């Protein structure tokens, strides 16, 4: 059985690809710097506007729960139909595209849900949704 008596050479690290990437990055930044200098030389006055703050995000949909007892809750607070109309009108005056989600109890009467939908219509809310469950969720 032959024995190895000489040591193998240490592997060398090939830096060719690293140097290529470094040169490409240098060229990229040099060209990018030239574009920035060209933009600064334009004789252009940008208009000035006053700062009114950032745009506010659209509010979440308002949730109206209709319980089987006939009670109505807007965002967790019990309200009457007159109060519901007033609160939705006030909210709609702040945001025109206000959305309302109506969730009615399946064992309750539809008359209360119809009253809530009518209150939403009187408040001017056009984005209405009625929550239902599919039969596969039971």
Contact 131, 100 (CB under 8 A): no
- Encoded tokens for 21: 């990437």
Distance of alpha carbon 99 from alpha carbon 69, whole angstroms: 25
pLDDT per residue of the chain (138 residues) written in tens, 0 to 9 = 666 666 677 777 888 899 999 999 999 888 877 666 556 666 767 777 777 766 667 778 889 999 988 899 998 889 999 999 999 998 888 888 888 999 988 888 888 889 999 999 999 988 888 888 877 765
Among 138, 127, 130, which Cα is nearest to 64's?
A: 130
CATH number of 62-137: 3.30.420.270
| Domain spans, the chain | 62-137
């Amino acid at each position: 059985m032959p024995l190895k008596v000489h040591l193998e050479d240490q592997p060398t690290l090939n830096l060719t690809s690293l140097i290529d990437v470094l040169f490409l990055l240098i060229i990229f930044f040099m060209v990018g710097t030239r574009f920035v200098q060209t933009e600064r030389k334009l004789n252009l006055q940008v208009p000035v506007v006053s700062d009114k703050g950032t745009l506010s995000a659209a509010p979440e949909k308002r949730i109206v729960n209709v319980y089987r007892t006939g009670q109505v809750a807007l965002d967790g607070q019990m309200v009457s139909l007159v109060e519901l109309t007033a609160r939705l009108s006030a909210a709609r005056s702040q945001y025109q595209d206000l959305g309302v989600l109506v969730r009615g109890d399946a064992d309750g009467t539809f008359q209360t849900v119809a009253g809530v939908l009518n209150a939403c219509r009187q408040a001017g809310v056009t984005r209405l949704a009625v929550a239902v469950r599919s039969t596969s969720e039971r």
